A and B are shown apart, each in its own frame.
Chain A
Amino acid sequence: MKPFSLWTRREWARRLFYCGMLRCAGLLVPAPLRTEWGREWHSELWHVRLACAPLGAASWQGEREVFAFCLGAFQDALCLRRASLHPRPAFMAMDGTARQCILVLVGVLAASYAIALLLPGVRAERSLGPRKVTPGLVMIEDAAASDDAYPTISARQFGAWTARKQRYFDGFAFYRVRQEAVETELAADRGVDRRTWKVAQASPNLFALLGLPVRFADAATENGGMPEVVLSETIWKRQFGADPHVAGTVMRLGTCIVRVAGVAPDGSLDLPGRVDAWVLRPVAAMDSGTPGYVVGHLTAMGRAEMWAPRVHITANMPEEAEDDLLGVSLEEWGPTPVAFYLFALGLALLALPAITSVSLGESSLNAHRTSWSRRLHRWSFLGVKIALLLPIAYLVSLDLAYGFTSLGRERAAYIQLASTFAMTLFGMRWVLKDQRQRCPVCRRRVTHPAHVGQASRTFLDWNGTEMMCMGGHTLLHVPSLPTSWFSSQRWLYLDTSWNFLFAEPTRPTP
């Protein structure tokens, strides 16, 4: 090598360029190893340059070799980085094992459940699902009404129906909603809180008819003749800080002094009006002209006549001819997300044989008989995989379909149907394929695929892919072209004579 003083400007530039490459690669190396790593690569670079592109005799080929050498430093640095990010023993020991597969599936299940809990659309759909209301409830409204959200029945009409004997209904409840000023007493030194709530004036039997339990109702037995108010759960939490001793609290509602009788649960029934509080009082005491909402409970005969979610009702009035009304069921009509899921699952199972073999490919090349316990473990593993896959498909389909609240229920149902079908179909295909590639002895995935034989000699000898169990228990032979003498995959169970192939003694079987 020439002394530094004799180096040309181009030689300096080349040296700086290669050293720069190594320094850049060195940034990828974990800091504690960087100095040692850099020292070795710079030392090797010196020797590589000496051999490939000596000073004063630079050639394009030589420079290319030095450049390729320096590029290798990036690969080396990345390997070190990866090794530092994934500590080897814990990960490598589980690589390809049945336990790793189960853990991954459990992780996906937990993630999809967590997403379902976080997405408001999915939460709302799940809360709507199992409605805890009395069966046979209908919302009665004027047949000419264009929107279910607007009240159409007056207290006078309601009074007339309840006075008559009914064949199809055994109970009615009435309520109407209006904005009212509310004054509640705050803590001793904080004065009075004034707000405006949406308050419903409701007949006293409303909650009994709906079958909704009013919480803390037992605590307010003595009302002192004051009207009772039932708070919505939202108001109870927001205004009263979810105080469990709220029952019995006296407050001013409009011009009346009322007493809190309890708290109605939210989300259990989607009644129109979005009410903050319910004042329970006789319908006779309400203004007879203002329209409200009527909920009716059907008798057995009425339920038999309710063949659709919306039915026409004709009510005979004393002085007028008749009222043309509409009964809208408060129960769930149409398929639920679970029904969609089960339907799509059934379709996917029917379609499965069309895209993959349903055989588990357990035949062996040599006369080896697998013990019952190993077979049981293998089947249990398959069962656990399927048992984890199915709820994953359900939750992910809910996330996809109902995660975006802007989509309508009908569109969401289609998305759920399609996503469930795709996930269960391809999920089951993966489960079967994975099972076929699991060593029957240790249930570890076979690896290191190697092509054996020649396609041109198919009719003289088999050709296909050979895979090996890392534990040294088995070899898996999968034919490229199924023939009459080798139609499906076969396992070759390795005895002790194969041990020399492995650098360490065969792994003990589980």
Chain B
Amino acid sequence: MARSAQPSETKLSHTAALILQALDAGFVYGFSIMEMTGLPSGTVYPAMRRLERDELIRSQWEKQSIADAKQRPARKYYKLTAAGKITLEASRRRYPLLERLIPTEEAKQV
């Protein structure tokens, strides 16, 4: 699905690969990705919009009741799609240091 959905995106930039890796590692909203990657907001949010447009990630608003219970505004969470996971695999082969920079839970356990 994803490969046909992104006909012109032949390869992923370092930034996009880093964001995909951060999402996979469990950092699922913009600010946490900023904190994890050290990238500024002006880079992270536009990159996430492009990834969402290319259907590599998808977003979902948190339920208002949960936010109300915690006395804070609702957050927008991002999640990898199946195509995003495949692309991330290709990016990990291309950038071997990616997993060392942001280890996933499975990698940490190993």
Which residues of A come within 8 Å of B, CB atoms?
1, 39-44, 46-48, 50-51, 68-69, 71-76, 79-80, 83, 88-89, 92-93, 95, 470-472, 500-505, 507
Contact = CB atoms under 8 A, between A and B. Distances in A.
Contact of B10 (A50, A80, A472): A472
B105 interface: no
A165 to B, nearest CB: 83
Contacts of B34: 69
Interface string B1-37: 0010011111110000000000000000111001100
B29 A79 contact: no
A89 B9 CA distance: 11
A500 B42 contact: no
A249 B99 CA distance: 94
A76 B7 CA distance: 23
A93 B9 CA distance: 9
Name the 3 nearest CB pairs between A and B, nearest first. A72-B41, A75-B42, A72-B42
B93 A500 contact: yes
A502 B12 CA distance: 8
* Consensus secondary structure, chain B interface: helix
A68 B31 CA distance: 13
Interface residues on B, range: 20 to 34
A71 B44 CA distance: 13
Given A40-B30, A79-B49, A471 B10 contact: yes
B71 interface: yes
B66 interface: no
Contacts of A69: 34, 40-41
B101 interface: no
Contacts of B11: 470, 501-503
A416 to B, nearest CB: 42
Nearest to A74: B42
Contacts of A80: 46, 49
Nearest to A43: B73
Interface in B22-71: 29-31, 34-35, 40-46, 49-50, 53, 71
A505 B45 CA distance: 28
By CB atoms of chain B within 10 A, which of A51, A501, A504 has the most?
A504
Contacts of A505: 3
A72 B31 contact: no
Contacts of B87: 503
Contacts of B40: 68-69, 72
Contacts of B7: 89, 93, 504
A206 B29 CA distance: 89
A507 B90 CA distance: 16
B82 interface: no
Nearest to A33: B49
A344 B8 CA distance: 42
A219 B50 CA distance: 72
A504 B31 contact: no
Given A43-B74, A43-B75, A503 B42 contact: no
B41 A503 contact: no
Given A46-B72, A75-B46, A503-B3, 18 more contacts: A40-B76, A41-B45, A43-B74, A47-B72, A51-B35, A69-B34, A71-B41, A72-B44, A73-B42, A79-B50, A89-B7, A89-B8, A500-B93, A502-B10, A502-B11, A503-B91, A504-B10, A505-B3
